Amino acid sequence: MITNPSHVLSLVAAFALIAIASDRIGQWISRWRLPLITGFLGTGVIAGPYALGLISTDTVHALGFVDQVSLAVIAFAAGNELFLKEIHSRLRSIAWITGVQLITTSVIGGTAVFLMADLIPFMADIPTAGRVGIAMLAGAILVARSPSSAIAIVNELRANGPFTKTVLGVTMVTDIAVILLFAVAFSIAGSLLSGDAFNLMSVVILLGEIGASVAVGVALGVVLDRILQLAIHDSLHKLMVLVLGYAVFMGSVELREWSHDALHHAFHLEALLICMVASFWVTNYTESRQELTDLLERLGPPVYVAFFTLTGASLRLEVLPATWHIALTFFIVRLFGIWIGNHLGGRLASERPLHNRIGWMAYVAQAGIALGLAKNVSDAFPAWGDSFATTIIAVIVLNQLVGPPFMKFAIALAGEDRSRHDSATFDGVRDALLFGGEGKTLVLARTLVRAGWKVKIACLEPVQLRDVADEDISIHIIQRLDEGTLNALDATAADAIVGMMTDEQNLALCELAFQHFGTKVMVVRLNDRAWHAKFTELGVTVIDPRSAVVGLLDRAVRSPTSAALVLGMEQGQDIIDVEVIDPDVHGMAVRDLHLPLDVALTYVHRGTSMISSKGTTVLHVGDRVTLTGPAEALDKAVLRLGG
pLDDT for residue 465: 59
Same domain, 488 and 581: no
- Structural domain total, the chain: 3
Residue 423 — very low, low, confident or very high, per pLDDT cuts 50/70/90? very low
Amino acid at the residue 589: A
Same domain, 316 and 455: no
Same domain, 617 and 534: no
Domain boundary at 360, 381, 413, which? 413
The average pLDDT across 491-499 equals: 86
Does residue 418 form part of some domain?
no
Burial class (CB in 10 A: 0-12, 13-18, 19+), 251: middle
The CATH number that applies at residue 140 is: 1.20.1530
Domain boundary at 413, 444, 478, which? 413
Does residue 209 form part of some domain?
yes
Same domain, 526 and 593: no
Residue 564 — very low, low, confident or very high, per pLDDT cuts 50/70/90? low
pLDDT for residue 438: 77
The average pLDDT across 529-550 equals: 79
Same domain, 575 and 493: no
Distance CA 296, CA 290 (A): 10
The upper half-sphere exposure of residue 637, i.e. CA atoms within 13 Å in the direction of its Cβ, equals 25
Distance CA 621, CA 382 (A): 44
Does residue 485 form part of some domain?
yes
Range of the domain at 518: 430-543
Distance CA 567, CA 24 (A): 48
Residue 340 has pLDDT above 90, yes or no: yes
Q: Indicate the pTM of the whole model.
A: 0.60
Residue 72 — very low, low, confident or very high, per pLDDT cuts 50/70/90? confident
Question: pLDDT of 457-491, one tens digit each?
Answer: 888 876 555 556 566 778 888 888 888 888 888 88
Question: pLDDT of 175-222, one tens digit each?
Answer: 778 877 887 888 788 777 776 655 666 667 777 878 888 899 999 999
pLDDT for residue 193: 76
pLDDT for residue 2: 47
Q: What is the DSSP letter of 457?
A: E
Strands (E), 303-450: 430-435
Same domain, 378 and 434: no
In Å, what is the CA distance from 558 to each residue of 82, 160, 554, 564?
Answer: 34, 34, 6, 12
The average pLDDT across 356-377 equals: 81
The average pLDDT across 609-637 equals: 76
Q: How many residues does the chain have?
A: 643
Question: pLDDT of 603-617, one tens digit each?
Answer: 787 765 667 776 777
The CATH number that applies at residue 519 is: 3.40.50.720
pLDDT for residue 13: 84
pLDDT for residue 374: 82
Which H/E stretch holds residue 479? none
Give phi and psi for 516, each to the nearest 5: -115, -20
pLDDT for residue 145: 84
Does residue 557 form part of some domain?
no
The average pLDDT across 626-643 equals: 74
Instruction: Kindly report the average pLDDT of the chain as a whole number.
Output: 79
The average pLDDT across 389-408 equals: 81
582 contact partners, CB below 8 Å, separation of at least 6: 621, 640, 641, 642, 643
Domain boundary at 385, 413, 441, which? 413
Residue 409 has pLDDT above 90, yes or no: no
Residue 629 has pLDDT above 60, yes or no: yes
Residue 392 — very low, low, confident or very high, per pLDDT cuts 50/70/90? confident
pLDDT for residue 450: 77
pLDDT for residue 339: 94
Residue 446 has pLDDT above 60, yes or no: yes
Q: Among the listed ranges 107-121, 277-291, 508-522, which one has the minimum average pLDDT value?
A: 508-522
If you write DSSP's letter for every residue of 563-587 in order, what string do you get? HHHHTT-STTEEEEEEE---TTTTT
Contacts 24+ apart (CB under 8 A), 632-638: 633/596, 633/598, 633/599, 634/574, 634/576, 634/599, 636/595, 636/596, 636/599, 637/578, 637/595, 637/596, 637/599, 637/601, 638/576, 638/578
pLDDT top residue among 9 and 281? 281
Q: What angle do CA 150, 153, 154 make, to 5 degrees?
A: 85
Same domain, 441 and 471: yes
Q: What is the Cα gyration radius of the chain? A: 27
Q: What is the DSSP letter of 101?
A: H
The CATH number that applies at residue 597 is: 3.30.70.1450
Does residue 223 form part of some domain?
yes
Say whether 16 sits in a helix, a strand or coil: helix
Does residue 551 form part of some domain?
no
Same domain, 537 and 610: no
How many CB atoms neighbour CB 298 within 10 A?
Answer: 17
Does residue 31 form part of some domain?
no
pLDDT for residue 123: 83
pLDDT for residue 1: 44
pLDDT for residue 108: 93
pLDDT top residue among 7 and 350? 350
Same domain, 311 and 452: no
Does residue 286 form part of some domain?
yes
pLDDT top residue among 319 and 466? 319
Same domain, 89 and 129: yes
Same domain, 390 and 514: no
Same domain, 137 and 256: yes
Inter-helix orientation angle 271-285/289-314, to 10°: 160
pLDDT for residue 463: 59
- Sheet with 609-612, strands from edge to edge, namely 573-579, 624-630, 600-606, 609-612
pLDDT top residue among 114 and 315? 114
